[in-house]
Amino acid sequence: MNTETFASIAALVKARSGIVLTPDKGYMLETRLAPLLKQAGIPSLDALALKLRDPRMESLAREVTEALTTNESSFFRDGKPFDHLKRLLPGLMAKRSPGHRLRIWSAACSTGQEAYSIAMILTELGIRNAEIFGTDLSREVVERARQGVFTQFEVQRGLPVQMLVKHFRQEAGKWRVQPSLQDMVRFEERNLLGEHRTLGRFDVIFCRNVLIYFDPQTKGRVLNALGAQLAPDGVMYLGGAETVLGLTERFTPIAGERGAYSLTAAPARMAL
Ligand SMILES: C[S@@+](CC[C@H](N)C(=O)[O-])C[C@H]1O[C@@H](n2cnc3c(N)ncnc32)[C@H](O)[C@@H]1O
């Protein structure tokens, strides 16, 4: 692959997803895109880059971008945000009107483990009037999330066995989420770089382990857009390696709760 090819594919992926591919990712490009080249009968990455110059190659551009996303996820990933959520929700619900439908957004949900982990917590807390909205850029992972079928390896990562037995049933050597859990969750293809205003307000937003792939400017832009969708007393959770510091003033870290953020209070009016 020549350097121009790398630069043009990296530029396309960044424009479509925000994901930054640094020049040391040449090998990753080759391995991740090899199946797509084979399937489409394209002889090389250089030939692919030439094809992608044609604006009519929209579906190929989408497939290339999706192939370069990293979809690693697990149930109750990192533990702490889910423990915090468990402690947060009773108080948050107490502040809402009786008929309030709790809304939680799992932005960049990958194959759905995060959204289903949240659904298990709500079930445990007896919160039934709720909607968990899982979104991701990648069509393939959104489809997998919707199916709610996980391998033995996937359920062994982070899912306590009593939760597995309670919320999943075995099916052809895999584990399928029970309908009661699946009914609480809705998945949709959605780009974090897009417009979210039509989604309305969320009480809680999870946006974990995706900002790490973006440059600071994109991180700031996405964080501000998420802030606009969060209820004034809502909470946003980021991944362990992510922060808002130096990116936006819209959020403030919640003291002592790693990865949890609230909206920054508007400055109190100075008495004259
Ligand atoms: C590493 S996974 C994180 C999954 C989950 N949030 C977790 O923490 O386990 C990152 C996900 O971000 C998605 N992603 C990357 N860029 C995106 C974008 N611009 N909009 C929406 N999702 C994106 C990828 O498709 C991938 O599934």
pLDDT of residue 267: 64
Using the mean position of ligand 1's atoms as its centre, give its distance from the Cα of residue 267 in Å: 33
pLDDT, tens only, 104-161: 999 999 999 999 999 999 999 999 999 999 999 999 999 999 999 999 999 999 899 9
Which atom of ligand 1 approaches the CA of 138 most closely? 25
**Closest residue (by CA) to atom 10 of ligand 1?**
210
Mean pLDDT of 59-77: 97
Structure-block tokens of residue 29: 């490009």
d(CA 133, CA 141): 14
pLDDT at 2: 87
Q: Hey, which bits of 148-259 come out as E strands? A: 149-150, 168-171, 174-177, 185-189, 202-207, 230-238, 251-253
Q: List pocket residues of ligand 1, CB cut-off 6 Å.
A: 17-19, 69-73, 77, 108-110, 114, 136-138, 141, 191-193, 208-210, 213, 239
108 Cα–ligand 1 center, Å: 4
Mutate-to-test residue for ligand 1 from 137, 199, 219, 221, highest number of ligand atoms within 8 A of CB: 137
* pLDDT band of 271, cuts 50, 70, 90: very low
Ligand 1 center from residue 246 Cα (angstroms):
22
Of all atoms in ligand 1, which is nearest to the CA of residue 74? 9
Residue 116, SS3? helix
SS3 (DSSP) at 14? helix
Using the mean position of ligand 1's atoms as its centre, give its distance from the Cα of residue 100 in Å.
Answer: 29
Mean of pLDDT values over 231-257: 96
Going by alpha carbons, the residue nearest to atom 27 of ligand 1 is 110
**211 CA from centroid of ligand 1 (Å):** 8
pLDDT digits (tens, 9 = 90+) for 176-226: 999 999 999 999 999 999 999 999 999 999 999 999 999 999 999 999 999
174-200 per-residue burial string, b: 16 or more CB within 10 A, e: under 16? ebbbeeebbebbebeebebbeebeebe
At residue 139, the pLDDT reads: 97
Side-chain-facing half-sphere of 188: CA atoms under 13 Å: 11
Give the whole-number percent of the chain exceeding pLDDT 70. 98
Whether residue 67 has pLDDT greater than 80 = yes
Distance 210 CA to ligand 1 centre (A): 5
Model confidence pLDDT, tens digit, residues 1-40 = 788 999 999 999 999 999 999 999 989 999 999 999 999 9
From 19, 63, 64, 69, the mutation candidate for ligand 1 (largest count of ligand atoms within 8 A of CB) is 69
Nearest-angstrom CA–CA distance, 33 and 68: 8
pLDDT-derived band at 265, boundaries 50, 70, 90: confident
| Ligand 1 midpoint to CA 111 (Å) | 9
The average confidence (pLDDT) of the chain is 95
Q: Quote the pLDDT of residue 160.
A: 95
Distance (angstroms) between ligand 1 centre and the Cα of 76 equals: 16
| 237-265: average pLDDT | 95
Q: State what percent of residues in the chain have pLDDT above 90.
A: 94
What is the structure's pLDDT at 122?
A: 97
